[in-house]
Structure 1
Amino acid sequence: MFYRPETGHGLPHNPFNAIVTPRPIGWISTRGADGQDNLAPYSFFNAVAYFPPQVMFASTSAKPDRGDTKDSVAQIRDTGVFCVNIVEYAARDAMNATSAPFPAGTDEFAEAGIAKADCDTIDCPRVADAPANLECKLTQIVQLPGEANFAVFGEVTGVHMRDDCLVDGIFDVRTYRPLSRMGYQDYTSISEVFSLKRPGT
């Protein structure tokens, strides 16, 4: 089968999400200029550079009470900071609960019963018991083609790692089973890890 996105695929659901998988989930926490906390998952997320360490996530829809975007991007525009919380399999239901379309000003930490802690390098909350948290300073927001598509880039200014995830000096994903997004409403968790030596190293 071949299709052009502009003319449609004719399938019951968009296959694009299922083709580009698995995708790590950036559980983005923000604090608005008014002090209101927000937490929401984004599956268009990844690390993009080592030195300095940088990450990105993309928001692809809007809410009527936020105009052209969603709560996360709106608050980052105002404050210039955000935190990426890494999602483990054990937190799957809590993560999913924070994806609900709450009105602006709702604290998803409270709605989903998630413990929060303050970040160290930025004025922002973080998921207290996440395997890792990446405190980020906004570097740029890029408007992509499409009405509500924004890519948010940030430089990592602080890193939290849960003690039990450090094994012999290595941040070991086998200790917490990272949660990843598949297509449609499907997710997967990483339970098998293997190593490949890169040629020339």
Structure 2
Amino acid sequence: MLLNFNEVESKEIYKLMAGNIIPRPVAWIVTENEGKINVAPFSYFTGISSKPPLLMVSIGRKKPTIDEPKDTFKNIKETKKATVCLTPLDLYEKMDKTGEVLPFGVNEAEKFGIELEKIDENFPPIVKGCKRAFLTELYGTFENEEMATIPFFLKIHKMYIDGDFEPVARVGKGYAKLTEIKSEK
């Protein structure tokens, strides 16, 4: 079978990409704007450069209102800062809940009982219990009228590391534990 993406609806293209580009790491992004906290997961996320150290996260719009950007989008655009946490296995259920579409300004951490910890005064807090986090600043975006999601390039200023780490990856509509890692020879 050969699918022509020019003849497939964007909703179906998303399902095909998300179900076949696997596993995808999950960025659990914390932003802060005028004292309001936002915590949200994104699986269109990856590292793209080590010089300068850059992450890319693709941020879409709220459903069903395609024209309204997500809170993370608004907050990064306005404050230029984000803390990108990597979700540990024991927090994936709470992380998944934070993907719920809520009105602007609703604090997901309070709503879903997620503890936050301020580790640097210049960046939003981390999700307590996350063993890895990147403290980042907006480096740039790539915006185009045709795109349903906007790639945000985030420059890493600091990295938080705490002990061993079992990351969660997105696989289609579910999550996976990475159980076996083979070393390079």
State TM-score, norm by structure 1. Answer: 0.83
Q: What is the CA–CA distance in structure 2 between the aligned matches of 1:14 and 1:65, rounded to whole Å?
A: 19
Q: What is the CA–CA distance in structure 2 between the aligned matches of 1:67 and 1:142, rounded to whole Å?
A: 17
Could you report, residue by residue, the CA deviation over 1:69-91 in whole angstroms, capped at 9, with x for unpaired residues?
10001000100110100111111
- Counterpart residue identity of residue 150, structure 1: I
Could you report, residue by residue, the CA deviation over 1:127-174 in whole angstroms, capped at 9, with x for unpaired residues?
122011100011102114535421111111111111x22xxxxxxxxx
Name which of structure 1's ranges 93-102 and 50-59 shifts more when overlaid on structure 2: 50-59
Q: 5 Å matches for 1:112-151?
A: 112-120=112-120, 122-144=122-144, 146-151=146-151
Q: What is the CA–CA distance in structure 1 between the aligned matches of 2:144 and 2:105, rounded to whole Å?
A: 26
Contact 2:123 2:135 in 1 (8 A): no
Could you report, residue by residue, the CA deviation over 1:32-65 in whole angstroms, capped at 9, with x for unpaired residues?
1x21100000000011111232111001233578
The alpha-carbon deviation at position 181 of structure 1 amounts to 0.6
Structure-1 residue corresponding to 2:28: 27
Structure-2 residue corresponding to 1:172: none
- Counterpart residue identity of residue 105, structure 2: G
5+ residue gaps, structure 1: 166-175
Structure-2 residue corresponding to 1:181: 170
Q: What is the CA–CA distance in structure 2 between the aligned matches of 1:63 and 1:35, rounded to whole Å?
A: 25
Cα RMSD for the two superposed structures:
2.2
- Counterpart residue identity of residue 112, structure 1: F
Q: What is the CA–CA distance in structure 1 between the aligned matches of 2:130 and 2:82, rounded to whole Å?
A: 15
Contact 1:63 1:70 in 2 (8 A): no
Q: What is the CA–CA distance in structure 2 between the aligned matches of 1:51 and 1:44, rounded to whole Å?
A: 21
- SS at 2:6's partner residue? coil
Q: Give identity over the alignment, percent.
A: 24
5+ residue gaps, structure 2: none
Contact 1:25 1:86 in 2 (8 A): yes
Q: What is the CA–CA distance in structure 2 between the aligned matches of 1:74 and 1:92, rounded to whole Å?
A: 24
Residues 178, 123 of structure 1: alpha-carbon distance in 2 compared, 3 angstrom cutoff: closer
Q: What is the CA–CA distance in structure 2 between the aligned matches of 1:23 and 1:75, rounded to whole Å?
A: 24
Structure-2 residue corresponding to 1:104: 104
- Counterpart residue identity of residue 168, structure 2: L
Are 1:191 and 2:179 matched, yes or no?
A: yes
Q: What is the CA–CA distance in structure 2 between the aligned matches of 1:144 and 1:110, rounded to whole Å?
A: 34
State TM-score, norm by structure 2. Answer: 0.89
Q: What is the CA–CA distance in structure 2 between the aligned matches of 1:100 and 1:68, rounded to whole Å?
A: 15
Contact 1:65 1:104 in 2 (8 A): no
